[in-house]
Structure 1
Amino acid sequence: MNERILSLTPGPWNDYELIDTGGFEKLERFGEFIVSRPEPQAIWDKSMSESEWRKMAHAHFAKEKNNPDKGKWEQLKKMPHNWQIAYSNEDGLNLKLNLAQTSFKHIGLFPEQAVNWDYLYQTIQKSPVQNPKVLNLFAYTGAASVAAKAAGADVTHLDSVKQVVTWSRHNMEASKQEGIRWMVDDAMKFIKREARRGNKYQGIILDPPAYGRGPDGEKWVLEEQINEMLKTCAEILDPKNHFLLLNMYSLSFSSLIAVNLIQSNFGEVKNPEHGELYLQDRFDKKLPLGIFFRFSSY
C-alpha cells in the first residue's frame, strides 16, 4: 500500500484556539469564551501558571475523583450555557456550530476534526456521482454530516443518542443546510441491515468511541468490534466510486493499526492517507488527538 503518512492540524481559525496544555488539562478558546478541561494526553507541565489559567478561563470542568469523564462545570466568569461559533475554509465551506457545557466535559465539538471537514468537502465535490450517498456512523453532533451535505451529498447521520441527533439538526439549520436523514440506532445493527438489503454508499465516515452503548444498551468496545464493523462497511461501500474516512481515539492505538484494518478488509485502496490529528498550543506544544485513515477512488 503506497500510502501518505501525515500529521494534520487545522489551519487558522478565528473562533478557536488551543491556548495551553499540560498537567492533564487543556485551556481552549471557543469564540469569546475560554474553558479548561481534563485531557489525559497532556502529561507534560503547563507553560502558564495555575493562576493565569484561572484568570483567563470562563469555566473549568472539575472531574470526579474516580471518573475523569464525569464531573461538573465551575463557572469562573459570566458566560452562557449555550453559544455558537463559526467555521469556514477557503473552499467555501461555512458552518455554524452550537456549543454547550455537558456533564461529560464535552461541549459538542472536536476542533481537530476540522481537517476532516475540509477533506469531506473537497472529496465529495470531486465525486463523479451526483449527490453521492454518504453514511456518517457515530456521528455525534454532526459537523461532518453538515460539511458533507454542504458539498452536495445525500447524507444519513446515525448516532445512538437521541439528544445529540437533535443537536446535529440544530447545527444543520444554523449552517443553512437541510435534508439530512437522521437515524437513532446502533451502528453495527444498522450497517448489517444495510448489507442484507444490498444498499450501497459512495462515502462512509466512522468516528467510533473507545467505549459506548447503543440505544438499547448494545455494548461497543473499539478493540473488539472495529474489525467486524469495517468488514461490513466493505460490503456496503460502492466498489467503483467511493471514499472512506476512519477516526479512532484510543491511547493505545497507532495509525499502523488502521493501516492493517483497512488492508485486511478493503485490500488495495486508492489515494490512502493515514497518521495523527493534533492541535498546537501557543507554546508550540502539540497535543495528539487521535489517528485517522482515509482513502478515495477519485
Structure 2
Amino acid sequence: MQDRILSLSPGVWKDYELIDTGGFEKLERFGEFIVSRPEPQAIWDKSMQDSEWKKLAHAHFAKEKNNPEKGHWEQLKRMPHNWQIGYQNEEGLDIKLNLAQTSFKHIGLFPEQAVNWDYIFSTIKRSPVKNPKVLNLFAYTGAASVAAKAAGADVTHLDSVKQVVTWSRHNMEASKLDGIRWIVDDAMKFIKREARRGNKYQGIILDPPAYGRGPDGEKWVLEEQINEMLKTCAEILDPKDHFLLLNMYSLSFSSLIAVNLIKSNFGEVKNPEHGELYLQDKFEKKLPLGIFFRFSSF
C-alpha cells in the first residue's frame, strides 16, 4: 500500500477551475462565476497580481477580524446569490449541484471531492449486491449521496444541520433522482443505535469536520472522537461486501494517521488506498485539501 495524492486532471470538470492560489486565498470559477475566498493552506505568494484577481472575481469573501471562519461576501460584479453547476464523468455520472454564498465562506461543495464521487460511483456499480445500502455521515450538501444514488445505492444521508439536508434534497431533485433517506441527527448517536439494532451497510462514507455540533449541541472534536466512530463503523459495515471512504481535513493530520486508524479498527482491508487530496491551479501550484483512506471488497 503506497501513499497517493489524488486530484482531478485540469480541464476535466468544465464547470470548475482553480485559477490561482496564494496569500492565504484561492481564486475559483464555478460555472460562469468567479469567487475569491480564504484558504489557510495557501501560504505561498499569488502568481497573479491582486488587481488581476479583483478584475476577474465576481465576489470576494472578507473575513471578520475576530473570527476567520465568518465574514461577508463583497460583490464585485453582478452575480446571483444562488446558482447551479453540473458534474459529469466518463463512466456516466451526471449530477447537478446548487451553490450559494454563505456566511461561512463555503458555497455548497468541496471540489477536491470529485475524485471521491468518481470512486463512489464506480465502486457501487461494481458491487455484487443489488442496491447496496450506503450511509453518508457528516454528509453536508450531499454530492457524495447523490453520486451514490445515481449509481443505484439505497442511500441514507445524515447531517446535524437541517438546512444543509434541505440543500442536499435540492441537489438530488436537480439531478432528477429520488429516494434518498434524510436524517438530521448526531452522527455518533445514530451509528451507535444502528450497531445496537444489528443494521449493516455495504458502504460508509465519512467526511467529518475538525470541530462541530450535533442538533442538540453535542460536541464533535475530530482527534478525540474519530477513533471511537470508526470502531462503531466497523460494527455496522457488512463484513463480506463493503467499501468505506474516510476524508479528514485538519492542518495537523498526516495520511499515516488514517492508516493507523483503519488498521486499528478494521484490521487488514482489501484494495486500500490512502494519501492526500489536492487541486492544481493554472500555474501548477498544488493546493493540499485533506487526507483520505478508502478500501473496498469488490
TM-score (norm 1): 0.99
Q: Give CA deviations for 1:210-259 in whole Å, capped at 9, x if unaligned.
A: 00000000000000000000000000000000000000000000000000
- Name the SS of the counterpart of 1:275 in structure 2: strand
Greater displacement, 63-72 / 284-293: 63-72
Query: Hey, what does 1:7 align to over in structure 2?
Result: 5
SS of 1:108's partner is coil
**Whole-angstrom distance in 1 between the partners of 2:85 and 2:3:** 31
CA displacement 1:173-216 (0-9 Å, x = unmatched):
00011100000000000000000000000000000000000000
Structure 2: distance between partners of 1:268 and 1:13: 35
Count residues with an aligned counterpart.
296
The Cα of 1:5 is off from its aligned counterpart by 2.1
Give ranges in structure 2 of 5+ residues lacking alignment.
none
Q: Distance in 2 between matches of 1:68 and 1:9?
A: 27
Give the whole-Å Cα distance in 2 for the aligned partners of 1:174 and 1:215.
26
Which secondary structure state, in structure 1, belongs to the residue aligned with residue 46 of structure 2?
A: coil
CA deviation after TM superposition for structure 1 residue 68, in Å? 1.1
| SS at structure 2 position matched to 1:190 | helix
1:199 aligns with 2:202: no
Q: Which residue of 1 aligns with 2:171?
A: 171
2:247 aligns with 247
Alignment-derived partner of residue 218 in structure 1? 218
2:36 maps to 36
Structure 2 Cα separation of the partners of residues 157 and 13 of structure 1: 25
Which residue does 1:98 correspond to in 2? 98
- In structure 1, runs of 5+ residues without a counterpart are none
Aligned mates of 1:4, 1:82 — CA distance in 2: 41
CA RMSD of the aligned region, Å? 0.5
TM-score normalised by the chain length of structure 2:
0.99
Amino acid paired to 1:114: A
> How high is the sequence identity, in percent, across the aligned residues?
88
Separation in structure 2 between the aligned mates of residue 239 and residue 5 of structure 1, nearest angstrom: 25
- Listed as ranges, the matches of 1:140-289 within 5 Å are 140-289=140-289
Supply the distance in 1 between the matched residues of 2:67 and 2:8 (Cα, whole angstroms).
Answer: 30
Partner of 1:67: helix, strand, or coil? coil
2:70 alignment partner, SS class: strand
